Amino acid sequence: MRELSLHILDALENSIEAGATRIELFIEEDLKKDILKIAIKDNGRGMSEGFARRVLDPFVTTRTTRHVGLGLPLFAAAAQRCNGDLQVQSEPGVGTTVTATFQRSHIDRAPLGDMATTLMAVMLSKRPVDIYYKHSVNGRTFELDTAEMRNELDPIPLSHPRVRQWLESMLAEGLASLQRHAP
Amino acid sequence: MPRLKTIEDLKKLREEAQRDIKVRVETGTTITVGMGTCGIAAGARETMHAILKELKKREIEAHVTTVGCIGMCVKEPLVDIEQAGKPRITYGNVMPDMVPRLIEEHLINGRVVQEWAVGRLPTKE
């Protein structure tokens, strides 16, 4: 995939498929240490130790619609190409955490890309899921929590056209303020 | 964005939206985009982005939601349009550049774009 935000969206969709009702997504860019770290933590049904070990094998999947699971192996390959790695920690009934690290300046590192649309795709999900997002670039932080938003909006859904437009501009503004400080 | 401003914005939105939500939930249009691994790899996120942009440009107030894989991966990106009182139509291989015509024909002119449609479900009772 051309952008890390597409790998992230794919991992977020895995969490939703696993029945997660809350996902925490952390992106940390440290230019001094030259590290880009992405962590996705969900409260989905989790995986057994054996399955979590095998999940980076492209021929392992839980889906019944086909027999090849490509999402995580592709994400792992992207990290490994950039002197990084991808770890999966999981506990049945508790949830799964996927952590990917990249050498930020590595020539093969794909750009983070359109995080705003990735987040929109999750916020507009038909399946009930909340997302907490925290993105920091050299200590400057942008964060949001859809659970808080839903509380304020109740009973208006996030997918309401007017709320959606507000979300879009809020994301654009928040993410742009981070990027102004990253070369 | 400062937290306080966010909460104020949301309160205002809630009041505005509450006035017309009933009408929209009952008679509105819902556009659903497949967002499984297959959809994402085929460009579904960009298709969704194009849909949001087109709806905004034409000031059409439709709901947009995302779902996972439904098993028709070869036809991704899949876009489903559901309007009250009309059959639900599924379009396949919907690329961003197809979105303006899709919105214009289906939502504005009320005509199904036959050559892109891959499925039809009867009207909900």
* Domains in chain B: ranges and CATH: 26-121 (3.40.30.10)
Pick B18's closest partner by Cβ from A124, A156, A159.
A156
CA angle B114–B120–B54, rounded 5-degree value? 60
Output the pLDDT for position A175. Answer: 94
Reduced 3-state DSSP string for A94-144:
CEEEEEEEEECCCCCCCCCCCHHHHHHHHHCECCCCEEEEEEEECCEEEEE
Contact A65 B69 (CB under 8 A): yes
Output the pLDDT for position A120. Answer: 97
Q: What is the CATH number of the domain that holds A36?
A: 3.30.565
pTM of the complete model: 0.90
B 55-94: CB under 8 A from A: 55-56, 61-71, 73
Output the pLDDT for position A65. Answer: 47
Averaged pLDDT for residues A24-44: 97
Number of neighbouring beta carbons within 10 Å of residue A158: 19
Contact A124 B71 (CB under 8 A): no
Q: How many CA atoms lie within 13 A of B20 on its CB side?
A: 12
Averaged pLDDT for residues B3-8: 78
Pick A161's closest partner by Cβ from B45, B63, B73.
B63
Pairing between β-strand B79-83 and β-strand B88-91 as defined by DSSP bridges: antiparallel
Pick B64's closest partner by Cβ from A63, A162, A164.
A164
Residues of B in contact with A20 (CB under 8 A): none
Output the pLDDT for position B6. Answer: 84
List pLDDT tens digits, range A35-90.
999 999 999 999 888 888 887 877 666 655 444 456 788 999 999 999 999 999 99
Distances (CA, A) of A55 to A10, A76, A175: 14, 11, 32
pLDDT at A167 over 70: yes
B21 Cβ under 8 Å from any chain A Cβ: yes
User: Containing H/E element for B91?
Assistant: strand B88-91
Output the pLDDT for position A160. Answer: 87
Total number of domains constituting chain A: 1
Residues of A in contact with B21 (CB under 8 A): 155-156, 160
Cβ–Cβ under 8 Å, residues A102 and A111: no
Output the pLDDT for position A66. Answer: 47
**Complex ipTM, two decimals?**
0.86
List the domain range (segments joined by +) for residue A84.
Answer: 4-179
The nearest CA of chain B is from the CA of A143 a distance in Å of 8
